[in-house]
Every structure is written in structure tokens, then in C-alpha cells.
Amino acid sequence: MKAMLLDDDRLFPSEPSARKVARALYERVHDLPIVSPHGHTQAGWFAANAPFPDPATLFVQPDHYVFRMLYSQGVSLDDLEIGQPRIKEPRKVWRIFASHYYLFRGTPTRIWLDYAFQNLFGLTERLSEETADHYYDTIQEKLNTPEFLPRALFERFRIELLSTTDSPLDDLTHHKTIRDSGWKGRIIPAFRPDPVVDPDFPGFLESVAKLGEQNGEDTASWDGYLAALSKARARFKTLGCTSTDHGHPTAQTADLDRTDREILFNKVLAGSTTEADCELFRAQMLTEMARMSVEDGLVMQIHPGSVRNHNPLIFSRYGRDMGADIPQPTNYVAALKPLLSRFGNEKNLTLILFTLDETSYSRELAPLAGHYPCLRLGPPWWFHDSPDGMMRFRQQATETAGFYNTVGFNDDTRAFLSIPSRHDVARRVDCAFLGRLVAEHRLEEGEAFEVAHELAYSLVKKAYRL
């Protein structure tokens, strides 16, 4: 029998009785459809349904988990052709990646990649400098077959729904193409307004003007600006959008009176703002987005706490989202108070909170979600999207917020082939956690089977109104 990269009992408890329950729970949920309500894959892949060009473009170029690790060990992003519209020497890039694959030992990235290599491509010998060309040729051969076209993989992965993340200025042409093609795969946009609500976003003033042009509103006025945002949200909804997403540096919210809102808005348009003004404007806009969500029903997600583009050299050479974002401590109790004082008891608002600050789980996030009807806790995100990170989340949040104030799992990935592996990891960790509760007589086994199904499938559909 061939050696396999992955053990069937991976991530399950080592204690025999808990492991036995975890296995039984996992057997029930591992084949459930995947609901992916938040991520950064490209709708254009499914609109064109063209073959992925090569292994390096598929596994290395879009995945900042991969190239940030290589960069940390001195590999040049130029040698990896990061930021280029098309990789010119994909085999060379692949060989660099393969020769450094040992760097991923002990990381979730290694689990995700090994899962794809083994389950999709039948590769069971570890990727290394020696096996690089065998891997490359095997993957390339399969990418040229109909079974590995984007839509075929979508169906093979049992994806029920996949959400992209899109600027309010996006014309959503690819989503329209998918809808009009007759293909049954459900791919929807999510409304990410950062380019037109964050004064620090590059090209902010030009984007606000374009927002007005696209929606027939005068965005030089406060009322026109808000009307343009409302129209953009409505346009997204026509293509299936059910959520907004906000990637602000902090979770700060504000509830200024009308006069102060207009004064601040005019300062922002005039470009005469301080750092504090920009933070206050973002804070006010989170509250405005909550008001709009109460009106139009879009679920609101806040992904705060990342210091974006921390490395100025990388930002200047390669642009945004190149693996140089770093977590920082994040306050939620005081920061969200203005928004929650106004909308926290609204039945038509669902606000999903994420964090990169694990110290806030038991101290702030679980108590907040365990009280306010509108609040739900998103799954471990980004640097904490890992087996240990998921387990820490369940251990720290469950006692106060329970299971039903959480929203299952979303993968938040740019790497399409990592989606089934990420969901598999989440299901295994949740089954491990539940198995331990059963073994310790803190949960009945029948209840554990119900909860496992909710965490893998049902909660996410309810939370995102799917």
C-alpha cells in the first residue's frame, strides 16, 4: 500500500474515548455540502471556466500564506513572480516553492496543501526539491483535463454556495456572466465598501466621485453620498449578495449628529483630515452601514485589527495584500458601544464579528455575542485559521456565547483548491472538541451529533441568510 501524506485520524483527540466519538461525528458531517459565505476567489474563473494555466499560478501566486513564509526565509518575491499578471517561468517558481516546502512543517498551510496534493492529484510522496518536477508534471497534466476546469472542481468539492468579495465600484460582469450562462453553481458577491468609506484607502476621492457617477448621485453632498451607497448595495443584491464586509483597522464606531457628520464629510472630501478624523469617519460609516443593513437586510461582517501593508518596501513594489499585514490588539466593548446603543437590539440586523486578537475571545467577544441579539461570532480568521486556533476559539467562546451565537466556518481564501481542506480541518476540530465534551460527560452524544451538523452546515446558512 502506498504511504499517504495524511492520516485518517488527523486532528482527533489522542485520548481513545474522545477520539472514538470524534470519528463517529466526523463520519456524519465530512460529506456535507460546503457553504463558503466569505472569501476572495475570483468570479472570473467560473465565468470563463478556462483551465488553470499551471501549478505555480494555482498554488503559489494567489496564496499569501505561501509566499509570505518563503519571503520570511529570504526568497525574493521577484523570483516567485508575485504581482505579475502571468507567471513567465512557472516551473522555476514551482521548484523554488518545492525546495522550501519544509518551511511549512507544523503549519495549517502544510495540511491544506497536502490535502489537495493527495486527494485531488493522487500524490502521496512529500513535495520536496527531489519530487518537484514529478509534482509539477502530474498536476499540469490533470489541469489540462475537463475534470479540473473551475466549474467541474466547484461541483467536485460539493460547494453549495461561494461568495466573492467585491468593491462597490465593480461592475460585477463576471457574476452576470455566470448567472446568464445557465450553470447551476451558486456564486454571489459580497459588498466590500472600504475603497469609498476609508479616507486612507488609495484613490479614495476619485472612488467616491466614481461611486456617484455610477449611481446617478451627487457624492459631493452627504445625502448624495449615502444614497449612492444604498443604490450600490441594491445592485449587489440583484445578483444574490446577502452580506457586506468591512476591513477597518479597528472596530471603532460612532454616532454623530447630522451637523457633525456633514462637517466631517466635507473635511474628508477637502483632503484636510487628521489621522483622528479618518478614524472617526470610518467609525461613523460602520454605523451608517448598520443602519442600511437594518433597512435592506444585508448581513454585516467586521474584520478589524490588521495593520495593513506593514512593510513599506513590499507595498511600494508589489501593492496591497502581499503578505505584509500584521495583527494588532483590538477593542470591541467600547468601540462598538455607539453602534450597539443605536442598533444592537434590532431584529433585522445581523453583525458578525471577527478578530485577530485572541485575547478578546472570552473577555469581550463572547460576552457581547452572549447578550446582544444582533451579534454573532465569526470563526477564527487569517493567522488563527488553524487547528489550534480553532480549538482555542471553541474553548474560550463556548462557555459564554454557546454554539448558536457562532456562525459555523468560512474559509476566507484566495486559493480555490484550499477550500475543501479548510472546511475539512474545521469539521475535524469541531468534532474533536465535541468528542471531548461527550467523553467528559459534559454533552450527550445525541446532542453532539446535532451540534456537529449545525457547525458544519446549518449555522452558516442561517447567519448569512442563505
The CATH number given to whatever domain includes residue 78 is 1.10.2020.10
Cα distance between the two ends of the chain: 43
Q: Does any domain span residue 29?
A: no
Q: Is 304 exposed, middle or buried (0-12, 13-18, 19+ CB in 10 A)?
A: buried
Total residue length of the chain: 466
Do 85 and 222 share a domain, yes or no?
A: no
Q: Are strands 351-353 and 326-327 parallel, antiparallel or unpaired?
A: unpaired
Residue 142, domain member (yes or no): yes
What is residue 321's predicted lDDT score, i.e. its pLDDT?
A: 82
Three-state SS for 15?
Answer: coil
For residue 72, give Cα distances in angstroms to 57, 166, 239, 264.
20, 29, 40, 41
Q: What is the pLDDT of residue 132?
A: 98
Question: What pLDDT is attached to residue 1?
Answer: 38
If asked whether residues 92 and 156 sit together in one domain, one would say no
In this prediction, residue 323 carries a pLDDT of 85
Residues of the chain with pLDDT below 70 are 1-3
pLDDT in the model for residue 465:
98
SS3 state at 353:
strand
Is residue 302 located within the same domain as residue 405? yes
pTM of the model: 0.96
Domain range spanning residue 351?
A: 150-463
Structural domain count, the chain: 2
3-state helix, strand, coil in the chain (%, to 5): 55, 5, 40
